């Protein structure tokens, strides 16, 4: 049973436009959410996170929105750049440092 779902395996966006990556979760005990970026044959790198006490967190071009009632979060990248092309993983954790649970990832392609 998938607790973290990324229903779009891939997304293509033109350079300069907004990229929106979505993530849904089923476990109501999750209280911390993270996004990771991964290039082929490399380990994921941490991008941005959000605690369940917030509904928005920004870091430069990256913003994560959390809608707890809908159990939904999204990552916005504005403006999108070709270097953003990668696989993005959504991850979640319950309080107490339980291991992160990852979604299946969304492959973002930013077209110049």
* Among residues 57, 71, 104, 109, the one that binds other proteins under rule CB under 8 A: 104
* Token pair in block for residue 100: 């992160």
x-or-dash pattern for other proteins, window 62-101, by CB under 8 A? Answer: ---------------------------x---x-xxx-xxx
* Among residues 8, 49, 57, 74, the one that binds other proteins under rule CB under 8 A: 49
Give me the residues that bind other proteins (CB under 8 A), please. Answer: 6, 9, 32, 34, 36, 41-46, 49, 51, 89, 93, 95-97, 99-105
């Amino acid at each position: 049973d998938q607790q973290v779902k990324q229903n779009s395996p891939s997304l293509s966006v033109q350079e300069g436009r907004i990229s929106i990556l979505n993530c849904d979760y089923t476990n109501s005990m999750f209280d911390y959410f993270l996004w990771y970026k991964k290039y082929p044959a490399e380990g994921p790198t941490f991008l941005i996170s959000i605690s369940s006490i917030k509904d928005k967190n920004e870091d430069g071009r990256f913003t994560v929105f959390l809608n707890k009632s809908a159990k939904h979060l999204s990552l916005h990248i504005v403006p999108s750049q070709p270097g953003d092309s990668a696989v993005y993983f959504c991850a979640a954790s319950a309080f107490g440092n339980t291991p992160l649970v990852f979604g299946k990832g969304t492959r973002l392609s930013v077209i110049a």
